[in-house]
Chains A and B, each alone.
Chain A
Amino acid sequence: MTTDTRAADQTQTLDAPATADEGWRRRHLLDLDDFTVDELEQVMAATDTMKEVLSREVPRVPALRGTTVVTLFYENSTRTRTSFELAGKVLGADVINIAASASSVTKGESLVDTVQTLQAVGADVLVMRHSRSGAPYLAARHATCSVVNAGDGLHAHPTQALLDLYTMRSALGDVHGRKVVIVGDIMHSRVARSNMWALTALGAEVVVCGPPTLIPAGLGTTTAPASSPDARAFSPRRDSKEHPRMETELPPVRVETDLDRAVEGADVVMALRMQLERMHGGFVPGAREYSRLYQVNAERLARAKPGALVMHPGPMNEGIEISHEVAHGLQSRVEEQVANGVAVRMAVLWLVTRTGARGGIRAVGRGAL
């Protein structure tokens, strides 16, 4: 469905109010696991516009004027936080950064308390990064403002996957039918999880590759395990019309432990950061063996399609999961990923604020969504 046709439909009621939830219903952005294709396309389309804004001499629009965006980072990340901060500022929002490690968290203030306090002082959007999977869900359950997940534990990093998707589409046009290989510590990677959801939703062929000890349970089983009739009777399935992706238990990816085989004919090779703790934590015998088997280097890249994209969420451990040559080579899209990050985050902030969710005393009198 092209945006032009949509516009035509909308002008049927030319003088109708711009209703808040027209076309975007999500107050929060927590994960991509239940995103429809339409929603993913909407984010991509909005990102196009945001890129145009960023290309101007004075990249500023008043779209989020009067909106307060608070970044609440329980885990350090200059890159992602700055990206969100810039995104908010380009849109004219007031941005406040809170490094939770420094503040009341150490005094023992609970997450729920922190969220409600920030909301009460006027946060309209809470951009959260947390070391615990599911923390943004807890926040969202107790907030009337919007919660945007900037990374929670091992679980999800939706804006990263969205910018990865945007980067791929910019180069390839469409990811449908394309082969995308994600290499590394899949088990502990929220970037991998979010990418798997987004890419499979849009029909890409996704292969995850890593040491068997770092492939999480259940991934790669081609069909969802059938529930026994007993359990079905006791746990009625959620309404898949409301949440169309819920029926898919895990993204339908292929699992490979041999990188040379996995990478054959790939359109995109995405290397994940291999953390030192894993290398010494008994998951793999050590850095040398890991890089021998799983490093994305020139020889392996030669087995992929000519001109295949090389991507990495950063920061890179050059020499471990990716060779220096490939990291800075012609096929690397790493810088583009970072650049696209601001535009994607602008799109996300724009979209979630269309729902009218607000913090502060302005929340009084508006129905909680």
Chain B
Amino acid sequence: MSERLLIAGGRVVDPANGRDELADVLVEDGRIARVGHEIVADGARVIDASGLVVAPGFIDVHTHLREPGLEYKEDITSGTRAAARGGFTTVCAMPNTEPAMDTRSVVEFVLRAAGERAVVRVLPIGAVTRGRQGDELAELADLADAGCVAFSDDGAPVADATVMRRALEYATGLGLAVIDHCEEPSLTRDGVMHEGWVSTRLGLRGQPAAAEEAMVARDIALAEAVGAHVHIAHISTRGAVEAVRAAKARGVRVTAEVTPHHLTLTHEAVAFGADGRAAELAYETNAKVNPPLRSADDVAACIDGLADGTVDCVATDHAPHAVIEKLCEFDDAAFGISGLETAFALSMRLVHGGRLSLAALVERMTLGPARALGLERAVLGIGTLAEGAPADIVVLDPDAAWVVEPERFASKGKNTPLAGVELRGQVVATMAGGRLVFEREAALMAAGGTHG
């Protein structure tokens, strides 16, 4: 279909090409045809983006789609629709499904299902070890061949240092990174939130910051020793950020991601709710997540890390769960936040708070993740608005205020601590491969007509 679309008059932010200016974007046959000024395009459908921001579609390197096996929490259809609503045009699917994505056949299943039912691009992440048990390496080359863009046992760390070392060595030979969920399990056994004054006050067993820091230190040492690329999943502590900063300065191939909630919420959310409202929100299971929400100091360190590039990208760690898995005693509740649909607005708090420019945030959600995992090898031009790149575009209103209503999420997971909270920053439209996969108001599209 030779469809032409013109996104006109918006502030085009394309970090890859150093662009941040008012411009038009012309889309043809699902690809970026041209970005320029006052483009004339006969017969093109026009999207009026005046007053709005036009950026490459967001890339999430850490999403749990839950399919196969856990479809009651989420599936590829609902998960990718949630991604589209959140402005994401690419999601990397974590392998902690059932069965785990530790063999080619499961990966092929996921890709086939995505081909049929996903509304945005799904890139699979293969398991590091068989069954994610942490003992034997999975068939990593086969997984890479099937399309995996990285390896991870996420949900769990690769606890055994020797197994991690071998995985790094093997993966590096394939040119892919190992993404580690950094948590020293013996230190976090029974822990359900950050170990600190809130856990003491609430009488909940805590997960000390040291559990993450110890594992990050280990992974950096191993990556350095074998010359491999390790990617730190959902970084959350000051110690870990500082270790990554120092390692990068030494030239170690380490990259890191941070979630929007670890940039904005502290462990106080467990006791007092996301907006610190009061005791009736105590033991807020929607704030139960792994790694846990940490201290204000850790949050500050993560923000600094994202700002100075120590942390390469924002990743949602979208972890949808069924209602009954959160409507229970705190100790028994599942860990995880459904984050795709609030990621942009929550991250915008840093921009509104003057900690990050809008362009920098866009970079951390597009080019940053693409480069961190080397995704341009899988999809040329991903994360950019370069000519010829796939037309993965998001249109944003950085200032629009809205109230989070989880019942209206496209995700099956309504588990967010932000219910009822007002956020600023909205996704107005999302385009994947030239197809409009989400738009907030239909009026955005002018009915036919030409621009000029």
Contact = CB atoms under 8 A, between A and B. Distances in A.
**Chains A and B touch (C-beta atoms under 8 A apart):** yes
A217 B292 CA distance: 16
A242 B280 CA distance: 12
B298 to A, nearest CB: 9
Contacts, number: 127
B276 A237 contact: yes
B446 interface: no
A218 B324 contact: no
A132 interface: yes
A216 B269 CA distance: 20
B200 interface: yes
B330 A235 contact: no
Report whether over half of chain A's contact residues are helix, strand or loop; otherwise say mixed.
Answer: loop
A110 B328 contact: yes
A360 interface: no
B195 interface: yes
Interface in A117-148: 130, 132-135, 137-138, 140-141
B436 interface: no
Nearest to A242: B278
Interface in A213-266: 216-219, 221, 224-225, 227-228, 230-239, 242-243, 246, 249-250
A148 B283 CA distance: 17
Contact of A235 (B201, B274, B303): B274
Interface string B184-209: 00000000000111111111111010
B116 to A, nearest CB: 36
Contacts of A224: 197
A193 interface: yes
Contacts of A135: 329
B93 interface: no
Contact of A238 (B278, B330, B349): B278
B277 interface: yes
A137 B330 CA distance: 10
A32 B272 CA distance: 16
A218 B200 contact: yes
B299 A231 contact: yes
Nearest to B355: A230
A152 interface: yes
A133 B333 CA distance: 12
Contact of B303 (A138, A219, A230, A243): A230
B195 A228 contact: no
Given A133-B283, A228-B299, A238-B272, A154 B265 contact: no
A156 B200 CA distance: 11
A112 interface: yes
- Interface size class on chain A is 35 or more
Contact of A217 (B200, B268, B283, B297): B200
Interface string B282-294: 1100000000000
Interface in B51-84: none
A249 B201 CA distance: 8
A111 interface: yes
Contacts of A217: 195-197, 199-200, 206, 208
A345 interface: no
B353 A233 contact: yes
A190 interface: yes
A111 B329 contact: yes
Contact of A110 (B283, B327, B330, B349): B327
A218 B201 CA distance: 9
B351 interface: no
A250 B201 contact: yes
Nearest to B274: A235
A138 B328 contact: yes
A137 B333 CA distance: 14
Contacts of A233: 353
B49 to A, nearest CB: 29
Given A155-B203, A227-B296, A246-B279, A132 B353 contact: no
Nearest to A130: B329
A92 interface: no
Contacts of B329: 111, 130, 132, 134-135, 138
Contacts of B426: none
Contacts of A221: 197
18 contacts: A132-B329, A133-B202, A133-B331, A134-B202, A134-B203, A134-B204, A138-B328, A154-B205, A216-B200, A217-B206, A218-B196, A228-B296, A230-B353, A235-B268, A235-B272, A236-B275, A243-B278, A246-B279
Interface of B: 195-206, 208, 264-266, 268-269, 272, 274-280, 282-283, 295-297, 299-300, 303, 324, 327-332, 349, 353, 355
**The 4 nearest A-B residue pairs measured at CB:** A155-B203, A231-B296, A134-B283, A218-B197
